[in-house]
């Protein structure tokens, strides 16, 4: 099975017209090998019939694609690296916490544009189940918006307003599961043959116990195991339904190709509403096999490659972002870095960089970051990282025992130290975070808290300590200077531009109170935003810092995607130094002193024998003494070859 299905060319011409059909068929010819290989790998001898159905699903979506989005597709096909430009930077927010509703959002775009935003990630907004819904990740309808936020027409209007300003729209797409209230789940329960095999259920505990023996629990305290008893399942006889996360989130069974085609239909439908980037949620869990940990299986990658190829066939301006918080060697595979490259996702979160920056600030030592970042596998040049300081989620300390051991550290002890430090338990800590999902038996936990509170701003303000506040602001600036200068798409989490602190308001809401991650998801303080123009205010200082980083970044071609950052030892254990060189630019060297004391680094390593000017920094051009660059405590700088 290698050729194009019979009749597809005529159908494309009839649906699209001669010119658009020619473009569609050219794209189809390019993706056909990937589509065929994926279908054969996943579905064996059913692949022949599925190929025609998959391509026709993409054709129908292409025919329904609005003219404005087709023009955007053409621009992006001419410039396929559009998302790798140093002008691209992101802002991440919940609609209700940012501005209330989707209808109100276009009026707030001036705020985002002033920060340099060209990529807006709106956190879960598709219609969730009523009641508990995992923060919106239990989707009851992919084609409707949460009614508290607005309508799908409102979302289309937001996409249009963004595109008019040269901004792109990113939304979350939950691939692993639906809410039990989704029409697919209701049809499956009712025995509708159209939804047969969409979910997995077992009549007794024999197989669930066998799977659970090797699959780690995601929420061991509140949702142990990977299965939930559903009395209505299996024709009313009852069954153990696969629920990796919460009992109301039912895992889709992608061994059934009807599920794959149905999900493709939802993706392309949403793409035609104006979505540019899909954050593919929980992708490591998409495929299951007994005797494994149920994550990162080869078939999960093949499935993503299939969905990617078919989506790009229908909407070539759309890209995928993998939400995969896994070990670095596993993570790079979601960007297609396999033994043989396969297009999969264009973007992924640089979780390692984020974790190692917080670890470095707690210890005042950059060696662990240098060790771990230095041994990461390169990613394909057609992809790029999303770099960030923190996001909507808790921080899990993804420090491997291998990397810790290379420095003579005990990995488990270091992870416990980080939890103690950022929850404020460690003597002398500046942080005001909180433990999330603490397991007292194992000592495992993760950390909640806003960037400002974890950096020490909240603590300094409460104590009225001006010197501590200055140090805390320098920590925040250092973190974002690395995120903006490491390469990729930097993401600014809503509220960080105003140094917003932990919000305890969630405790008054019974639906949110059990989940302390809501403390770092505060409503944007628009009164504080009004003070951002005052350079003497806290908000003004942080906003000015971020605007400066954005402006400096736009002028540095070395920060374009398509190349890797090399971590360099410049002669100080406290200074993280990295170097970038894009094929079409000179070299950029960044440095960040994670300790509170001045440090020195080899000037030649950083400044290219003194020929690289400082293009951005916390303290202006740095002095050189005896051939070594003097970096102030918690200072940072970028040096760029002219």
Active-site residues, by number, are 281, 323
Strands 384-388 and 347-349 turn out to be parallel
- Which residues, including other chains, have CB under 8 Å from residue 275's CB and lie 6 or more apart? 159, 169, 170, 171, 318
Distance separating alpha carbons of residues 268 and 122, to the nearest angstrom: 18
Smallest CA-to-CA distance from 198 within 207, 189, 208, 206 is with 189
- Which residues, including other chains, have CB under 8 Å from residue 5's CB and lie 6 or more apart? 51, 52, 55, 56
Distance separating alpha carbons of residues 518 and 505, to the nearest angstrom: 9
| Angle between the N-to-C axes of helices 18-43 and 257-271, in degrees from 0 to 180, rounded to the nearest 10 | 150
Q: What phi and psi, each to the nearest 5 degrees, are found at residue 134? A: 55, 45
Q: Which residue has the tokens 């070299």?
A: 587
Smallest CA-to-CA distance from 430 within 479, 471, 389, 481 is with 471
- Which residues, including other chains, have CB under 8 Å from residue 105's CB and lie 6 or more apart? 95, 98, 99, 158, 161
**Count of C-beta atoms within a 10 Å radius of residue 600:** 21
Question: 414-439 as b/e, with b when 16 or more CB fall inside 10 Å?
Answer: bbbbbbbbbbbebeebbbbbbbbbee
Q: What tokens does 334 get?
A: 């979601």
Provide the β-strand partners of residue 172.
279
């Amino acid at each position: 099975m290698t050729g194009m299905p019979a009749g597809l060319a005529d159908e494309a011409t009839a649906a699209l017209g001669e010119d658009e059909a020619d473009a569609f068929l050219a794209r189809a010819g390019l993706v056909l090998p990937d589509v065929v290989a994926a279908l054969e790998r996943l579905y064996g001898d059913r692949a022949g019939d599925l190929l025609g159905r998959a391509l026709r699903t993409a054709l129908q979506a292409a025919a329904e694609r609005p003219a404005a989005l087709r023009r955007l597709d053409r621009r992006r096909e001419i410039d396929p690296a559009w998302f790798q430009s140093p002008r691209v930077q992101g802002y991440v927010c919940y609609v209700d916490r940012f501005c209330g509703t989707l209808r109100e959002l276009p009026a707030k775009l001036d705020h985002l544009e002033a920060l340099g935003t060209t990529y807006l990630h709106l956190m879960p907004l598709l219609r969730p189940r009523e009641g508990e819904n995992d923060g919106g990740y239990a989707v009851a309808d992919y084609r409707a918006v949460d009614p508290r936020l607005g309508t799908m027409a409102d979302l289309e209007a937001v996409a249009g307003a963004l595109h008019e300003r040269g901004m792109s729209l990113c939304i979350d797409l939950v691939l692993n599961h639906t809410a039990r209230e989704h029409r697919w789940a209701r049809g499956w329960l009712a025995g509708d043959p159209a939804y047969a095999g969409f979910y997995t259920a077992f009549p007794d505990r024999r197989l669930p116990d066998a799977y659970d023996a090797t699959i780690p629990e995601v929420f061991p305290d509140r949702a142990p195991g990977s299965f939930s008893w559903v009395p209505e399942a299996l024709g009313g006889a009852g069954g153990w339904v696969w629920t990796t996360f919460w009992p109301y989130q039912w895992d889709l069974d992608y061994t059934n190709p009807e599920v794959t085609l149905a999900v493709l239909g939802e993706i392309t439908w949403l793409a035609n509403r104006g979505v540019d980037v899909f954050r593919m949620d929980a992708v490591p869990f998409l495929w299951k096999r007994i005797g494994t940990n149920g994550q990162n299986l080869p078939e999960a990658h093949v499935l993503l490659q299939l969905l990617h190829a078919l989506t790009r066939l229908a909407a070539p301006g759309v890209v995928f972002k993998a939400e995969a918080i896994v070990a670095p060697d596993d993570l790079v595979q979601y960007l297609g870095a396999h033994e043989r490259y396969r297009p999969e996702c264009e973007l992924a979160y640089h979780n390692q960089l984020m974790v190692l920056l917080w670890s470095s600030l707690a210890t005042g030592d950059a060696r662990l970051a240098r060790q771990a970042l230095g041994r990461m596998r390169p990613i394909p040049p057609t992809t790029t990282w999303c770099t960030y300081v923190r996001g909507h989620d808790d921080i899990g300390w993804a420090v491997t025992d291998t990397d810790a051991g290379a420095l003579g550290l005990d990995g488990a002890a270091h992870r416990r130290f980080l939890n103690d430090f950022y929850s404020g338990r460690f003597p002398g800590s500046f942080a005001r975070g909180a433990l999330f999902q603490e397991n007292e038996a194992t000592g495992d936990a993760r950390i909640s808290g806003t960037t400002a509170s974890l950096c020490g701003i909240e603590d300094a303000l409460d104590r009225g300590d001006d010197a501590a506040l200055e140090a805390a602001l320098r920590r925040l600036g250092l973190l974002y200077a690395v995120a903006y200068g490491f390469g990729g798409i930097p993401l600014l989490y809503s509220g960080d531009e105003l140094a917003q602190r932990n919000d305890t308001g969630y405790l008054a809401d019974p639906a949110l109170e059990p989940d302390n991650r809501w403390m770092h998801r505060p409503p944007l303080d628009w009164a504080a935003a009004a003070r951002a123009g005052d350079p003497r205010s806290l908000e003004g200082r942080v906003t000015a810092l971020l605007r400066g980083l954005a402006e400096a970044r736009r002028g540095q071609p070395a920060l374009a995607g398509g190349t890797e950052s090399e971590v360099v030892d410049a002669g100080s254990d406290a200074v993280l130094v990295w170097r970038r060189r894009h094929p079409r630019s000179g070299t950029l060297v960044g440095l960040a002193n994670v300790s509170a004391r001045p440090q020195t680094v080899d000037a030649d390593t950083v400044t290219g024998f003194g020929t690289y000017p400082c293009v951005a920094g916390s303290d202006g051009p740095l002095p050189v003494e005896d051939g070594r660059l003097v970096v102030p405590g918690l200072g940072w700088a970028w040096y760029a070859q002219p």
